[in-house]
């Protein structure tokens, strides 16, 4: 495809930005979103590496489970603020996410 744009008179950079980038955009966006979600929800590394000095959101949520019981109000507030960025990002990239996830399964 890039060679056909060069035959039509476009430079290599124009072929990349007008042909290649629009073709790979859904895959790149869905990969980025999935990497963001997996990194955001990583609990084990957060507990083992930063439990005493600083903590990630899931580790901070786990601190509300004490011997006195669960602090449901605080835990719900932190859980909402932990999930909200992923949900908002998913809403904005929903079209590209669906295209990127189904692109490998469909030929043509």
Burial of 61 (0-12, 13-18, 19+ CB in 10 A): buried
Here the tokens at position 68 are 């006195």
How far apart CA 101 and CA 66 sit, in angstroms, is 40
State the pLDDT at residue 106. Answer: 56
Among residues of the chain, what percentage have pLDDT more than 70? 85
Residue 20 included in any domain: no
Pick the residue with more confidence: 34 or 100? 34
Here the tokens at position 95 are 């079209």
How far apart CA 97 and CA 29 sit, in angstroms, is 7
Residue 76 included in any domain: yes
Residue 71 included in any domain: yes
Residue 33 included in any domain: yes
**Helix, strand counts (H, E) of the chain:** 7, 2
pLDDT of 96 higher than 60: yes
What is the domain count for the chain?
1
- Return all residues near 75 (Cβ < 8 A) that are at least 6 apart: 61, 64, 65
State the pLDDT at residue 67. Answer: 84
Mean pLDDT score of the chain: 79
Residue 53 included in any domain: yes
Residue 108 included in any domain: no
Pick the residue with more confidence: 58 or 69? 69
Q: What does the pLDDT average to over 23-36?
A: 85
Residue 55 included in any domain: yes
pLDDT of 107 higher than 60: no
State the pLDDT at residue 40. Answer: 72
Residue 7 included in any domain: no
Q: What does the pLDDT average to over 54-76?
A: 80
């Amino acid at each position: 495809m890039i060679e056909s744009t060069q035959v039509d008179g476009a430079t290599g950079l124009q072929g990349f930005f007008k042909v290649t980038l629009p073709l790979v955009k859904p895959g790149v966006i869905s990969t980025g979103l999935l990497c963001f979600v997996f990194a955001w929800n990583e609990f084990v590394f957060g507990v083992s590496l930063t439990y005493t000095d600083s903590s990630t959101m899931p580790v901070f949520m786990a601190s509300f489970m004490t011997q006195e019981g669960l602090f449901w109000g605080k835990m719900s507030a932190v859980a909402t603020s932990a999930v909200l960025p992923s949900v908002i990002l998913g809403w904005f990239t929903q079209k590209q996410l669906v295209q990127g996830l189904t692109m490998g399964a469909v030929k043509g």
